[in-house]
Structure 1
Amino acid sequence: MSTPAVPSVPSGAGFDPWSPSFVADPYPAYAALRAAGRAHWFEPTRQWLIPHHDDVNALLRDRRLGRTYLHRFTHEEFGREAPPAAHEPFTTLNGNGLLDLEAPAHTRIRRLVAKAFTPRTVENLTPTVERLAAELVTSLYADGGGDLLSRVAEPLPVAVIAEMLGIPPADRGLLRPWSAAITGMFELNPTEDSARRAVTASEEFSAYLRELIAARRTDPGEDLISALIAAREDGDVLSEQEMVSTIVLLLNAGHEATVNTTTVGWLTLFRHPDQLAALYGAPERLRDGVEEMLRYDTPLQMFERWVLDDIEVGGTVIPRGSEVAMLFGSANRDPARFTDPDRFDVTRPADGNRHVTFGAGIHYCLGAPLARLELAASFGTFLRSAPGMKPVAEPSWRPGYVIRGVEELLVTW
């Protein structure tokens, strides 16, 4: 595929996903991109950047795009190289997950998974989530502070998912490192070192889950793995690989949003003391506040899809074989969709806060209700039981841009 001559990212826009200053605050660059047009070619990653909310929302639902192209084309037909053999078993693990499948495989697997991961499953978790949040927050408060990331933000969603899956407490410390290594491959132009870590983690995590699935087949319980084994429709069931990929996706996608929204949300509240005071004064507005945190500083900044048939965005034809990168962070600050979008306002009504943080269309995040439950439990516990928390220092941002978060968040009382 030849490189398009125009329109490319404006030289003065400041879009540089490998720059620490950009990662710390990408929003001025997004504003420049939106002002300059609706589609921009970015040569370093050979992607089309899509910065406007309405375009992102429409393309997420457009069946002319896909997370994969292999349901229609071979790698050669699509003008792409097959993943390196050295990237196995990451390629198989990732390729069989719901996030990277298209119909009909996606439709079939999501239908079966939905039989196990039901709204009632999430609802029934409410007491567990609230108990775990209270234990973690109380411990941090009793110690007079510490790192909110490692003490509350990370362990809460991992513990919740581990409870759902029935993973023994002694093994739960394995989950977060495996997840961190695998999601490193979702960054732009990952290094070979990142690939090696992802491959090792994929191999170890898959082997662990296969043993767990085998144990549940002979001795089923009330956990989600047992429910996935039992899920069937018209005689169809999930294969072992589909179950393994689904479980890994539930862990990876199911906790990254919670982890980063918890830490970055608190950082945002610290920087806007009037908004923090508003939540203390009216805790019933927490639902609105959580949605505003998800919108204002988006945990997943970019979502990529392949162009399966030529599309047109703002008069620019994007040909088949291209990759588009939808900028969720930019879409969620688009003044064409949100009033005063650069203002953080915890009273912005949740019902009208139509951010794209959890995606849209068939790939809308399956774990969104669980993430919202965890965030409400975590923030609610802090507001009710541990008021007066404040930051110790300005945190450093992790180098990753696609999944964006801080290295730590030291707090005290």
Structure 2
Amino acid sequence: MADADGLLDLTDPAFRADPYPALAAVRGLGPLPRHEGLGARLATSYDAVQDVLRSRDLGRTYTMRVPRPGRPAGEWDTFNALHEHALLEVEPPTHTRLRRLVASAFGRGHVERLRPRVEELAAGLLDDGAATLAAEGSFDVVEAYAEPLPVLVVAELLGWPEADRHLLRPWSQAIVAMYELDPSPEAEAAARAAADAFAAYVVGLARERSVRPADDLVSDLVAVRDAGDRLSEAELVATVVLLLNAGHEASVNGFGNGLVSWLGAGAPEAEVAPLVEEMLRHDAPLQLFERTVVRPCTVAGVDLVPGERVAALLGAANRDPLRFAEPDVFDPTRTVPHLSFGAGIHFCVGAPLARLELQVAVAALRRRWPRLALVSATRRPTFVLRGWSEVRVRPV
């Protein structure tokens, strides 16, 4: 069996800066080669990733349980609970029940009713960017635009009190830092504190909405029922935290990655919707989604046994030349769907919201400055959640 370790050093800064050549080399090893360092098989082709994500013989069991051996377990109870009860981390029948309830709350028109408000928020942030541009000659679209916009949107969706919206981004960033392959002790401490504070706030907000409901998603999550069933408090808290963390990271990194790709390709003209889809495909904001074999099966032509871990590499699948002609080229005329939102039962429940945010953000930016030049960009030293920490642009 071919071994991918020699081709894929996940800790190498050069790999993290541009993983796609190495991912292409691993794809050449055939379906599901082993990576001993990661302790998992790797799915890198479009078809293999689809098979891994859609197979009911693989499960999304919560494998991130912390702390590491020898550290006090109780300190991590809240962090673990946020994941153990999250839609993304459970399998049927629990997943079926949770998704039905969450989709019922989402299905009350919350996303589309936000469009005018998202446009208003985007315009306000671009006004601030214009002031920075006038003073400095360029501005950072990540810090000034891509990062604050999805947080403000999710806050509007949830009905989060305006005075406390500044808490959301730091909490999200601290928690998702634990999804990387090598979090530091400082990152662990920050994640634990953020999980505790975030969960406690959501509990208080949900209890308030149970007494005084409003026209927001938290109120609907509190009230939603289906055949007498409803979300438990732990499930509601985990859902709210997941909506912020996953939605925030997908939108921020999808926008930043896509903008750099688009500008790097000469900013070809395109309709907003297909342009956003190519931004998500060309440099995926989520690169790795892991599943575990729960019963003997064959996936992508490979026999698997229970307990084996399989990492679906979404960015690699999005650059599979068997699915995408000239996959490294940024081309907003493509019609083959990307896998950046996943597939199967774990397809991102917040995908419509992320698409709305990205389409509004891109359209507003293009209206304000029809032609932009990339001044500089600084990549985050991460792989699982891939993005830029700074992207400075100026109009031309």
Q: Same fold (TM over 0.5)?
A: yes
Instruction: Give the whole-Å Cα distance in 2 for the aligned partners of 1:203 and 1:10.
Output: 37
Match of 1:223 in 2: 216
CA shift in 2, pair 1:223/1:314, >3 Å: closer
Q: CA deviation at 1:317?
A: 2.8
Match of 1:282 in 2: none
Report if aligned partners of 1:137, 1:386 keep a CA contact under 8 Å in 2.
no
Instruction: Give the whole-Å Cα distance in 2 for the aligned partners of 1:31 and 1:44.
Output: 18
Match of 2:114 in 1: 125
Matched to 2:247, the amino acid is G
The more displaced of 338-347 and 98-107 is 338-347
- The CA deviation string for residues 146-178 of structure 1, in whole angstroms up to 9 with x for no partner, is 211111001111000001111112211111111
Structure 1 stretches of 4+ moved >6 Å: 80-83
1:134 aligned onto 2:123: yes
Match of 2:352 in 1: 369
Report if aligned partners of 2:23, 2:44 keep a CA contact under 8 Å in 1.
yes
> Which runs of no fewer than 5 residues in structure 2 stay unpaired?
none
Match of 2:231 in 1: 238
CA shift in 2, pair 1:83/1:257, >3 Å: farther
Match of 1:312 in 2: 298
Matched to 1:363, the amino acid is H
Matched to 1:407, the amino acid is S
Instruction: Give the whole-Å Cα distance in 1 for the aligned partners of 2:71 and 2:294.
Output: 17
What is the number of equivalent residue pairs in this alignment? Answer: 387
Match of 2:89 in 1: 100
Match of 1:169 in 2: 162
Instruction: Give the whole-Å Cα distance in 2 for the aligned partners of 1:193 and 1:7.
Output: 37
Residue number among 330, 337, 343 corresponding to 1:354 in the alignment: 337
Instruction: Give the whole-Å Cα distance in 1 for the aligned partners of 2:71 and 2:331.
Output: 46
Match of 1:270 in 2: 263
Matched to 1:408, the amino acid is E
- The CA deviation string for residues 245-272 of structure 1, in whole angstroms up to 9 with x for no partner, is 0000000111211101111111112211
1:33 aligned onto 2:62: no
Instruction: Give the whole-Å Cα distance in 2 for the aligned partners of 1:160 and 1:173.
Output: 13
1:379 aligned onto 2:362: yes
Report if aligned partners of 2:52, 2:310 keep a CA contact under 8 Å in 1.
no
Instruction: Give the whole-Å Cα distance in 2 for the aligned partners of 1:289 and 1:82.
Output: 47
Q: Secondary structure at the match of 1:344?
A: coil
The more displaced of 48-57 and 380-389 is 380-389
User: Normalising by the residue count of structure 2, what TM-score does the alignment of the two structures yield?
Assistant: 0.93
1:48 aligned onto 2:30: no
Q: Secondary structure at the match of 1:141?
A: helix
Matched to 1:357, the amino acid is S
Q: CA deviation at 1:391?
A: 2.2
- The CA deviation string for residues 50-79 of structure 1, in whole angstroms up to 9 with x for no partner, is 111101111111111111179xxxx9xxxx
Q: CA deviation at 1:189?
A: 4.2
For the aligned residue pairs, the C-alpha RMSD in angstroms reads: 2.1
Residue number among 380, 383, 393 corresponding to 1:398 in the alignment: 380
Residue number among 308, 312, 335 corresponding to 1:322 in the alignment: 308
Report if aligned partners of 1:87, 1:195 keep a CA contact under 8 Å in 2.
no
Instruction: Give the whole-Å Cα distance in 1 for the aligned partners of 2:300 and 2:57.
Output: 16
CA shift in 2, pair 1:42/1:10, >3 Å: closer
Residue number among 72, 96, 101 corresponding to 1:112 in the alignment: 101
Q: CA deviation at 1:17?
A: 1.9
Instruction: Give the whole-Å Cα distance in 1 for the aligned partners of 2:22 and 2:95.
Output: 35
Q: CA deviation at 1:225?
A: 0.5
Matched to 1:139, the amino acid is D
Q: Secondary structure at the match of 1:233?
A: coil
Instruction: Give the whole-Å Cα distance in 2 for the aligned partners of 1:48 and 1:252.
Output: 27
Q: Secondary structure at the match of 2:126?
A: helix
Instruction: Give the whole-Å Cα distance in 1 for the aligned partners of 2:72 and 2:313.
Output: 25
Report if aligned partners of 1:8, 1:41 keep a CA contact under 8 Å in 2.
yes
